[in-house]
Structure 1
Amino acid sequence: MDELVDILDSQGNLTGKTALKSEAHKNGWPHPTVHVWFFTSDGKVLLQQRAKNKSTFPLLWDVSVAGHVNAGEPIKEAAIREVREEIGLDILKDDLQKIAVFRATHKHPEDIIDREFHHVFLSGLKVGLQTLTKQESEVNALTLMPLLRFAEETWGLANPGKYVPHGAEYYQSVVKAIKGRIEGSTEAHDA
């Protein structure tokens, strides 16, 4: 779907301009996206395998849920919408913990220049994998992977052909934040 997105400046600030997503990708204009990483209390992370028909990174494993922010849409509302669309889960704003904003540029065949500011969130997954409903046009498969294995495969990008190349710093930040949340909830539970 070719939705309207906000165009950002090089620092990630709104410019007041909008464009179709296809135009932003063709011209390399910066725009906002959301990434939501779900994790379980027993130390697993939810991964999404991108659909085979995706124009970028088909069949690679990626963030639990990701998508573009529509023009004028608040960031957290975009995250909630994308979670509902891609995995059929309803969450609340309070379920999202923002950990960072990452600037990323990827050049793809067919003249696509993805210049995005990823607003990255964590959220606890409180339902079983079997209760999630994947959006067929976006998601090929969903899996829960132990955080330690995920860290080993992404930190040094030891398995670059398996994951979307967000970069070691990105993956390290996500893994450390999830680890901190799991340990924090365990300590609170033990107290």
Structure 2
Amino acid sequence: MTEQLKVFDVDYRYIGEETRENVHEKGLWHETFHCWLMDEADVYIQKRSSKKKDFPGLFDITAAGHLLATENVTDGTREVEEELGINVDPAKLVQAGVVRDVIELPSFIDKEFANVFLYKSTFSPTDFSLQDEEVEGIYTVGISEIKALFRNESKVVTCKNLRDGTLSEITLNDFVPHETGYFHKVAEMLEHQLMIRYNGFQ
């Protein structure tokens, strides 16, 4: 069955529905769900499967996906369960807002109204059950470190493979090429969470 997505104008006003294929072929604005998992010290990032058609092997949001025409924003939590095997309580999502995010490639134009969320909890390696065709691995990066990377205040950060504990140095070029404004918005979210922690308001 062909996936239908809601289509919007540049001001996020609903104008109709299109197939996912047409949305990317024509460069139409549509909705996505982005969820960044974190704990007290780290942010969790996914490494995309090498089998993926787009951006294979690059690091990205912990879990994300398109919102279908029949779904509301919090229905996007299904992406976290499908890709990572993590059940998310929608009541615990921290919403950052809607961020415009455009990625243009010769094969498609992706114009997203990304509904961005943080989800703070405690996670162990055994909590994750990865969808092989989507996700190659889950890695952790210190909150302060990834915040600095996303703001271009740091060029390199160290991430740890959750499965085997191996360490790797990565740069922003190792991530899916989201817009600068998108990365800055995520950094702003993370800074707010650090302020909450440092001030003792859990």
Q: Same fold (TM over 0.5)?
A: yes
Task: Give the deviation of 1:189 after TM superposition.
Answer: 5.6
Residue 7 of structure 1 is matched in structure 2 by 7
Q: Given that residues 56 and 108 in structure 1 are in contact (C-alpha distance below 8 angstroms), is that contact kept between their aligned partners in structure 2?
A: no
Q: How does 1:38-117 map to 2 (within 5 A)?
A: 38-41=37-40, 43-78=41-76, 80-110=77-107, 112-117=108-113
Deviates more, 1:158-167 or 1:3-12: 158-167
Task: Give the deviation of 1:11 after TM superposition.
Answer: 1.1
The SS at the match of 1:114 is strand
Residue 18 of structure 1 is matched in structure 2 by 17
Task: Give the deviation of 1:73 after TM superposition.
Answer: 0.4
Q: Distance in 2 between matches of 1:174 and 1:133?
A: 25
The SS at the match of 1:22 is helix
Q: Distance in 1 between matches of 2:184 and 2:195?
A: 16
Q: Given that residues 12 and 113 in structure 2 are in contact (C-alpha distance below 8 angstroms), is that contact kept between their aligned partners in structure 1?
A: yes
Q: Distance in 2 between matches of 1:115 and 1:176?
A: 22
Task: Give the deviation of 1:50 after TM superposition.
Answer: 1.2
Task: Give the deviation of 1:96 after TM superposition.
Answer: 0.8
- Any gaps of 5 or more consecutive residues in structure 2? 156-170
Please give the per-residue CA displacement for 1:113-132, whole angstroms capped at 9, x wherever unaligned: 11111110011032213311
Counterpart amino acid of residue 102 in structure 2: T
Counterpart amino acid of residue 105 in structure 2: H
Change (3 A) 1:182 1:82: same
The SS at the match of 2:173 is coil
The SS at the match of 1:161 is helix
Pairwise CA RMSD = 2.0
Matched, 1:162 2:174: yes
Task: Give the deviation of 1:186 after TM superposition.
Answer: 4.9
Structure of greater relative contact order (alpha carbons < 8 Å, 6+ residues apart)? 1
- Any gaps of 5 or more consecutive residues in structure 1? none
Matched, 1:174 2:186: yes
Structure 1 residue runs of 4+, over 6 Å off? none
Q: Distance in 1 between matches of 2:68 and 2:201?
A: 38
Residue 143 of structure 1 is matched in structure 2 by 139
The SS at the match of 1:184 is helix
